[in-house]
Structure 1
Amino acid sequence: MAILATGMVAPALPFSHADIIPPKHQTKIGISSEDIVCDSGLFKVIRTTSDSVACVKAKSVLKLIENGWAKTVNDKQVDEELLNKIINRKSIDLATINILETVPIKSKTGTSAPGKSIANYDVAFEICPSVPIYAPDVHISSDSETKHYELPGLVESGSCTLSATKIKASDAKSIKITLLNQGDISEKIVTLQTELDSLKEQLAKIRQSITRDNPETQKQGTKIAELRKQINDKREQLHRTLFAIHTPSTVKDKLNEMTFSGKIIEGNSASILSVLDSTPGLYHTVFEVCAGPTTIKLPVIKVTSDKQSLTLRLGDKITANSCQMTYVKIEADDKTSISVKPAGNSDSSNKASDLEVQISSLQNSLVKERQTLKSLIHNPDRPEDFAELFDAHVVKITELRNQISVAKAEFSKILYLTYN
């Protein structure tokens, strides 16, 4: 028999740290000590005895430093504004969780476990957030078992997301579901993405206005260089955090089959549009990078002269049959020695593109499975094999959820390493 349950509010648990994996695990998967991210309610310090990163409770930071157990990162002064913000952060109700169905899984003999014996249950539930939550970490418990898992991706506020899992219990009514997220990591992800999108919009507007004969080209070029650095720094922060979480609207350039210099796009290319004197030995170089029939993912360009060599990361991608114009300052004795060419990032580019396709396909499959399970739950004329069908969908949803998390972790790792 299926057991219905009422909705419950899922508060942020006061001492749960479920958003980000611990510092040691971050180090093991390749995140440098300098780039380690701390979880909700924690502050990053250096453990004095081992000179390793530790994430400690914000309230204990000053005492640990005073006692000599810890020191600040790079021996800088404690960021008291950040510390107080973490300490004084109030717990909020992040979401309401509604358990939709609790269905006992039939034993091998085809009957449910009787009495107070421990039985396996399929549980379908929905998360309805009051604020956007990135990668909700779900804690599910009963009188017989406790487990938790992560829903990949962002769950938007104002809507509900269906999920499902399995758990053991002797009394189905003892099954409870809460969120381990405290909310500040999700807030950080949303803020970083918003800031990144804003920077991209600024860059797109400047690129659209720039022309070879514009007297403001040098000033615009300087702004392009500044924005590009800010964008890459912001991307690195975002994907480093996503990588630590998962262990997934950008501004697209207008499609144009002509280069900025008026030539027809014929395959991948990089070419200089103009070289302007800045100060003696330093040149403002405006150049374009074009993609042929295939999108270039994670484009990396090498700019060289007789005095300096620079590697530039241009962005997420250059859309097929389009070009991006950008700008760099480079030292040179002879400005005619300045050249640009693709740096050869094809392996990472191809892998990232494949992972994007894989993630999109898995997410589409997950949406379909959730819709099918939801229809099954709300069907007034339930089939005789309802429990078996319910179990099959729970198994499939669990498999897809795990596959998406693994793929997103790998995708975020590639982007983190690219922009690091």
Structure 2
Amino acid sequence: MKFRYRSEEEMKDSGVEWIGKIPKDWDSMKIKYISPIGRGASPRPIDDEKYFNDNGEYAWTRIADVSVSGKYLLETKQRMSELGSSFSVKLEPDSLFISIAGTVGKPCITKIKACIHDGFIYFHNLKEEYVDFLYNIFSVGECYAGLGKLGTQLNLNRETIGNICIPNPNNNTKQKITSFLSEKTTQFDFIISKKEALIQKLEEAKKSLISEVVTGKVRVVKTFDGYELVERKKEEMKDSGVEWIGDIPKEWWLKKLKYISDIYRGAILRPVDEPTYFDENGMWRYLNISDATKCDKYLEDGGIGLSELGSKKSERVEAGNLILTASATIGKPLINNINICIHDGFIAFKNFKVNRDFLYYVLTNKSIYENMGKSNTQKNIYLDEVKNIYIAQPSVEEQKIIVKYIEERWLLVDSSIVNIKTQIQKLKEAKQSLISEAVTGKIEILD
């Protein structure tokens, strides 16, 4: 389908800031005059087993289900019993609803029979021609202008949604816009998904490369213009006896971490909200798991400032050491470039008898942690488990060469990933812009 940009002479002021100008034959209307708006409901207590049944007629929709869905809700992790659904709000297929908690403002069209809780609002008996049209308007987010920041800080409820003013062309035009955007957004999404898959392949290639190099499956050879990899012959290898490591070169050693580094678990502040423990201008930062998972190899900032007293109550880790997450997101290593204090969700490595960066790359291998720890509500790994991890250790000189090679390769791969992410962001912005121009009439969809 083709389109053209309308001229200024074809437009009029809508009187609504987020909409701007609309075609002269369009009008604008508050959503509450298009459809009654309802709110979801939950059975109480929500964790009572009698409200759920794996074979129930209606799916139970949580914020997490919508957050990972695209335009359509196709499945959920739980289903409701007949009793449970009687205490909730039932939606039939092709119903439009919006999250007002968690990922606030995200629209979704259910393709299954679903129940929604009070973290969602829905449109009752919405006419067919409005379902996709409204979805497209909400998906851009411009209509939420003045209601807060899209994502988590929007203040949405039945009243605020109902008072949002939207462009309202005739039904034939709505259908044209819906068909056009369905075609174009599918094209955008296809290209974006291909680029995201390429990023995933590059990330997997990084992991595979590290695993092969730090366990000695390949030898890193320095050349006059860089490095090259040479696969080791079978007769050069020996069985390590450790499943995740496999065969290693005969001249490499197998050592437990406790013999190559001092290893400590962090200490949590008690009570955690004691004001005298904190000072935003303090020399030490109190690290949390979210700061650790957001950074790449190096931790440059983050955490909460601690007072001298607070830092003494926790576990100090001076800049230049190695940290491992041991709770929630387990097995994420990082090198702290700032002075930090860690709670008991972290394990620190100090006083290395091995190249620190070599150890960092070894610890990025998730296979190490597969059989560790216990999981109740979240998985934790124990200090003794970490101390008894075996690693393959080459000579000091070979460790340095391996680190240098990995860093050079990572730099190239990461540069490619950044470039692809930039392309994806531009595609998403172009997609949003096209949707906005279509639903506000800046462009005319041609037959």
Same fold (TM over 0.5): no
TM-score, structure 2 as length reference: 0.25
TM-score, structure 1 as length reference: 0.26
Question: Which is bigger in relative contact order (C-alpha 8 A, separation at least 6)?
Answer: 2
Q: Larger Cα Rg: Structure 1 or Structure 2?
A: 2
